[in-house]
Amino acid sequence: MKKTILSIALLSSVALATCSSSASADDIDSKIQQQDSKINNIKSQEDAAAAQVTSIEKNIASINEKRDALQKENDKLLAESQQLNKEIAQLQKDIAEREKALQEQARSAQTDSSATSYISAVVNSKSISDAVSRVTAMRQVMGANDQMMKQQQADKKSVEEKLAENVEKSEQARKNQAELETTAKTLTTQQAELKVAQLNLAAERATAEGEKESLLAEKAEAERAAAEAAAAEKARVEEAAAQAAQAAQAQKEAQAAAASEAKKPQASNSTSSSSAASSSNSTSTPAATAPSTPAATTPVDTTPSNPAPTTPAVSTPNKYSSANTYPYGQCTWGVKGFFGSRVGNNWGNAINWPGTAAALGHLVDGNPVAGSTIAVTSNPAWDMGYGHVSVVLAVNGGTITIGETNYLGSPAWHTREIPASSVIAFIHV
What are the start-end ranges of the H helices in 263-330?
267-280
Contact 426, 374 (CB under 8 A): yes
pLDDT at 279: 34
- Looking at residue 425, the DSSP 8-state letter turns out to be E
Helix (H) or strand (E) holding 2: helix 2-111
SS3 254: helix
| pLDDT confidence of residue 14 | 44
pLDDT score at 82: 80
Per-residue pLDDT, 328: 93
Low-confidence ranges of the chain (pLDDT < 50): 1-19, 113-115, 266-315
- Residue 255, pLDDT score: 59
Shortest CA distance to 166 belongs to which of 78, 234, 239, 232? 78
Closest CA to 172 of 88, 255, 77: 77
pLDDT reported for residue 353:
96
Q: DSSP letter string over 214-227?
A: HHHHHHHHHHHHHH
The answer to whether 313 touches 280, Cβ cutoff 8 Å, is yes
pLDDT at position 252 is: 65
pLDDT given at position 243 = 60
Cα distance between residue 280 and residue 295, in whole Å: 10
Residue 386's nearest CA partner among 372, 376, 396 is: 376
| Confidence (pLDDT) at 333 | 96
Instruction: Extract the runs of DSSP E, i.e. beta strands, from 70-138.
Output: none
The predicted structure's pLDDT at residue 339: 96
Segment 149-162, tens digit of pLDDT:
788 788 888 888 88
Q: Sheet of 399-404: strands edge to edge?
A: 364-365, 425-428, 373-377, 388-396, 399-404, 414-419
Count CB neighbours of 74 within 10 A: 19
C-beta separation of 70 from 177 below 8 A: yes
Residue 24 CB partners (closer than 8 Å, separation 6+): 222, 226
How many helices and strands in the chain, by DSSP H and E?
Answer: 7, 6
pLDDT value at position 336? 95
Q: Is 331 exposed, middle or buried (0-12, 13-18, 19+ CB in 10 A)?
A: buried
